[in-house]
Structure 1
Amino acid sequence: MDIQSLILAGITLSIFLTVLSIGMRMAPGDLQCVLSNPPRLARALLAMNILGPIVTIAICKTFSLHPAVIVGLVTLSIAPINAMFSKAMLPLVAPSNPAYARGLFFASTVLSVVLTPLAVEVIQRLFGEGEVVHLSPLLVAQVVIGSVLLPLGIGLAIGRWRPVTRNWVPGIQKASGVVLLVCAIPIVVGAWPHMASLVREGTIAAIVLIALIGLAVGHFLGGPAEDDRTVLAFATVSRHPGVAVAIASLTGEPLAPVGVLLAVLVSELAVIPYKTWRKRLRAAEPGAAPHRPPPAGAH
């Protein structure tokens, strides 16, 4: 096994452990929080799975982007929510209101088995096969099932049948983080020289525009509750980079994984002002207190 295969195996293991730990900690009320409000779920799916990809493709068609950047942006737009999404939302919502973020992650992960391959098929039919991305929907479904749905299901089963194992979650997450860091360093070092070749005139602007419009779409479709607006805004732009890289690798575009990495890095910088605003808004609310992570077994 060569170094590249070892790195990919390490990333796969890190994703598996992260999603497994989320499943172990998931409470029945988290999913109920999403399913009990069908209009809110419909708005979330509209923002994440319809408007998000449409905005991405429209901007990709408008700007003269490198094919690897196009593949990176499109695969990110159709990937399920980032595995660390619910944890990242904890400082941005009320301590008593984290269930929507966890439930939305669960719903997005389960539905992505159908919605992500369907998005690939629709994109190829609307824009012509190979015009934006060239992918097999069946292969995409296999990637989604293996990388996120399977570990989530295993985690849910373990957490429900052996609740004491929830105390292992912090250790599992730390192990996942160490594995990811070890794998990410050579990826970033190896990809850095290629990033310059992907950046054309308008590339950074296009990525920033996609991120900002995605935030706006999620924010305004989030409904009247400020926490829901924050969660849906970030859900619209916070996609799973590991799944996106796995899908992008199937396209035959050799620099597609680098395109995903470039898109993630620029998007993370682009959303900082919105994140800062939402943190300040949360802190200014009456009775707001600094977030303290709950015990591993708590819900």
Structure 2
Amino acid sequence: MDLKHLTLLGLQIAVLGTVFGFGMSTTIADLLYVVRRPGLLIRSLLSVLVIMPILAVALVEFLNLRIEVEAALICLAISPVPPLLPKKQGKAGGLQSFGLGLMIILMLAAIPAIPLSLRLLEIVFARPFVVGTGTIARAVLLMALLPLAVGLLVRAVFPQIAMWLKKPLAVAANGLLLLGALLLLAGSLTTIWSATGQRAVVAIFSFVILGLLIGHLMGGPETENRAVVALSTACRHPAIALAVATINFPDTQIIGVILLYLITSAIVCIPYVAWQRSRILATRPE
């Protein structure tokens, strides 16, 4: 096994550990927060699953992009909610109950929504798109739902162990995630640089900014909810997007564009997260 595969394995373990930690910090009542607010749930689903794919199609049609950039934007737009997103939402001051509940609902919704989106894209672009529903379901189950469920079970059956384990697990997962990300970035600089030309950066920057704006508006009047919906709309699942793209665009160098999206998204979201956090802290009593 070479360094690249070890790095990817380390990143997967870090993600699993982080989601497992979410489960140990969450109750069933937390997960039902969004279900008890149907208006907020409907607006969130529209923002993430409907408006963003339409926006991606508009950007592709308007900017006349290279095929790999078009493919990346389309595949990212129909691949919602990476499993580490609740951590970023928490930094922005968003409600953990809403963030985790919405993540689970969006993950489950993605299983039928992604194939349906591809069928609609067939009409728009007049070309066939394929994806196995089982592939999406497997990714959702293994990388999000299963570790979260195990974490919930540990919290329910062994609450003291869960309390003791949360902090060291978070430190180990964060360290492994940072190390893996740095190694992956260092080994992919050439690929990422090659993806930056011909309006690719403009398209990806616009995609993220517009996603934050749309989600912020769709989140309603409560600042904590706006932060969650905005980040859920702008941040997409790179692994699912890459799986869909690999099947439908096998001859394109799409991984560089997806890595460029991850870097752009991380940078663009920093000021939004800081702004939202400052607004939320300003409204809380001292």
TM-score range, shorter chain: 0.7 to 0.9
Gaps of 5+ in 2: none
User: How far did 1:159 drift?
Assistant: 2.4
1:112 has 2:80 as partner: no
**Contact 2:34-2:98 at 8 Å conserved across structures:** yes
Structure 1 CA distance for aligned equivalents of residues 150 and 120 of structure 2: 31
User: How far did 1:254 drift?
Assistant: 5.5
What residue in structure 2 maps to residue 294 of structure 1?
none
User: How far did 1:271 drift?
Assistant: 3.1
What residue in structure 2 maps to residue 146 of structure 1?
142
1:88 has 2:91 as partner: no
Out of 253, 256, 275, which is 2:254 matched to? 256
**Contact 1:249-1:257 at 8 Å conserved across structures:** no
Deviation by residue 1:274-298 (Cα, 9 ceiling, x = unmatched): 33332332233251x5xxxxxxxxx
What residue in structure 1 maps to residue 217 of structure 2?
220
User: How far did 1:253 drift?
Assistant: 4.6
Deviation by residue 1:61-111 (Cα, 9 ceiling, x = unmatched): 3223333333333333222323232232234337xx432222222322333
Structure 2 CA distance for aligned equivalents of residues 229 and 102 of structure 1: 14
Cα 1:64–1:121 change in 2 (3 A) is same
User: How far did 1:242 drift?
Assistant: 4.2
User: How far did 1:136 drift?
Assistant: 3.5
What residue in structure 1 maps to residue 98 of structure 2?
100
**Contact 2:14-2:176 at 8 Å conserved across structures:** yes
User: How far did 1:250 drift?
Assistant: 4.5
What residue in structure 2 maps to residue 210 of structure 1?
207
AA aligned to 1:113 is I
What residue in structure 2 maps to residue 25 of structure 1?
25
TM-score by length of 2: 0.87
What residue in structure 2 maps to residue 296 of structure 1?
none
Q: Give runs of aligned pairs for residues 39-58 of structure 1, distance below 5 A.
A: 39-58=39-58
1:269 has 2:267 as partner: yes
Structure 2 CA distance for aligned equivalents of residues 196 and 66 of structure 1: 15
What residue in structure 2 maps to residue 156 of structure 1?
152
Structure 1 CA distance for aligned equivalents of residues 124 and 252 of structure 2: 24
What residue in structure 2 maps to residue 176 of structure 1?
173
Structure 1 stretch 49-58 or stretch 254-263: which is displaced more? 254-263
AA aligned to 2:62 is T
TM-score by length of 1: 0.83
Aligned CA RMSD, in angstroms, stands at 2.5
Structure 1 stretch 148-157 or stretch 115-124: which is displaced more? 115-124
Structure 1 stretch 117-126 or stretch 14-23: which is displaced more? 117-126
**Contact 2:92-2:274 at 8 Å conserved across structures:** no
Gaps of 5+ in 1: 290-299
AA aligned to 2:98 is Y
What residue in structure 1 maps to residue 35 of structure 2?
35
1:34 alignment partner, SS class: coil
Structure 2 CA distance for aligned equivalents of residues 116 and 229 of structure 1: 24
Cα 1:170–1:108 change in 2 (3 A) is farther
What residue in structure 2 maps to residue 5 of structure 1?
5
Structure 1 stretch 193-202 or stretch 66-75: which is displaced more? 66-75
**Contact 1:208-1:266 at 8 Å conserved across structures:** yes
Structure 2 CA distance for aligned equivalents of residues 258 and 188 of structure 1: 10
Deviation by residue 1:175-218 (Cα, 9 ceiling, x = unmatched): 22233233223321221112222122322111111112111211
Structure 2 CA distance for aligned equivalents of residues 69 and 113 of structure 1: 24
Structure 1 stretch 243-252 or stretch 33-42: which is displaced more? 243-252
User: How far did 1:268 drift?
Assistant: 2.4
- The list of structure 1 runs, each at least 4 consecutive aligned residues, that deviate by more than 6 angstroms after superposition, is none
User: How far did 1:113 drift?
Assistant: 3.0
Structure 1 stretch 135-144 or stretch 261-270: which is displaced more? 135-144
Deviation by residue 1:108-131 (Cα, 9 ceiling, x = unmatched): 23333333343334334543445x
User: How far did 1:42 drift?
Assistant: 0.6
Cα 1:23–1:109 change in 2 (3 A) is farther
2:65 alignment partner, SS class: coil
Aligned residues: 284
Cα 1:199–1:65 change in 2 (3 A) is farther
AA aligned to 1:136 is G
What residue in structure 2 maps to residue 238 of structure 1?
235
User: How far did 1:236 drift?
Assistant: 0.7
The percentage of counterpart residues that share the same residue type is: 26
